Amino acid sequence: MDRRDVGGWNGPVFVVADEPSIKCFNHSRWDGCGLKADIIPVNTDTPHWTLPSLTQTKGVRLVAKTFKMRLFELVNDIDPSIDTILYADGDVLIGQPLCLKHFFDTYVPQLSASKRIFAFREEEEGTPLYDKKIHGGIWLSHREYSKPLMDAWLQSLLETGYASDQKAFVAAVESGAILEREIGWMDTHQYQTSPGDHCLPENNMGKRIDKCDGFSNTPLKCLVHVHNARCVKYGGKAVQEYIDRFGLCTMQDMPYCTPMYMSWAAMGWFPYDSCRKLELGHVFG
């Protein structure tokens, strides 16, 4: 777990997973990797298939997304005294040694009834959703202060069924269920990146670079999100070169990006019983 080995975090780490995923942590493939975390088993209580849709979240994917807003409920059986949680998608890596202490020291004290969540922005300055759309893969929440916001976010997701929980968050903001002033914004420039971000306009005198040279050499920051959009935009070869920099024990000989023809599995349309990582995108490119 790079949150411990690289980030320097000595507190509890939780992995939320359903039964098909839990078996993967005990797979012989990862015997020597040393999972230093508590696994929280969850029951999706729905068939692992659904009618294909690119615009709505259905079936097991919808149920899985609801757990993001119910984290404190899930950790209660292990440690009900925990009052602050940093949520991170499974594809978020730690890129700087011992960076988490400074990160937590900066933002945890600021959580309050007036700042119910701290998140990174998803949109560029000057765009309509700049103060509304959060990065849905990394955010900091508090048991008491964040509960009204999380409840509103969960309700919005269930009512809209959006394919993106970020869209459900925006819908809750636009309806007034979540107040813009109660969203705390973390410093993306200092703490968070996705590979290829150095090609964006704000880092290149306003000009976007679509064919980004040196993609695999993107500077590492504390929180590095290597998500499926990277696979689609830059191709599996470039993403693999970047991932190899981390020396992840769990990856071994598996490619990070999976081919587009595996969409049916990555989107949860049909059952797929395997421990192979599913990060929708191109293997080659």
Cβ neighbour number for residue 108 with a 10 Å cutoff: 14
Res. 177: pLDDT tops 80? yes
**pLDDT mean over 60-85:** 89
**How many structural domains comprise the chain?**
1
Position 275 in a domain = no
Top pLDDT among 24 and 85 is at: 85
Position 282 in a domain = no
Strand pairing class (134-142; 192-193): unpaired
Residues pairing with 15 in the sheet = 39
Q: Among the ranges 119-128, 171-180, 188-197, which has the highest mean pLDDT value?
A: 171-180
Position 13 in a domain = yes
Position 22 in a domain = yes
Top pLDDT among 116 and 52 is at: 116
Position 220 in a domain = yes
Res. 246: pLDDT tops 90? no
Position 123 in a domain = yes
**pLDDT mean over 37-60:** 63
Please give the residue range of the domain that contains residue 174: 2-266
Tell me: the pLDDT tens digits for 101-135? 999 999 999 999 999 999 999 888 889 999 999 99
Residues pairing with 258 in the sheet = 280
Position 232 in a domain = yes
Q: What whole-number distance in Å separates Cα of residue 179 and Cα of residue 117?
A: 11
Tell me: the pLDDT tens digits for 5-18? 667 788 899 988 87
pLDDT of residue 269: 59
Q: Among the ranges 88-92, 162-166, 201-205, which has the highest mean pLDDT value?
A: 88-92
**pLDDT mean over 24-32:** 71
Q: What whole-number distance in Å separates Cα of residue 65 and Cα of residue 167?
A: 13
pLDDT of residue 91: 86
Q: What whole-number distance in Å separates Cα of residue 41 and Cα of residue 128?
A: 38
**pLDDT mean over 204-220:** 59
Position 280 in a domain = no
Nearest to 6 by CA among 84, 103, 107, 134: 103
pTM for the complete prediction?
0.83
- What CATH number does residue 108 fall under? 3.90.550
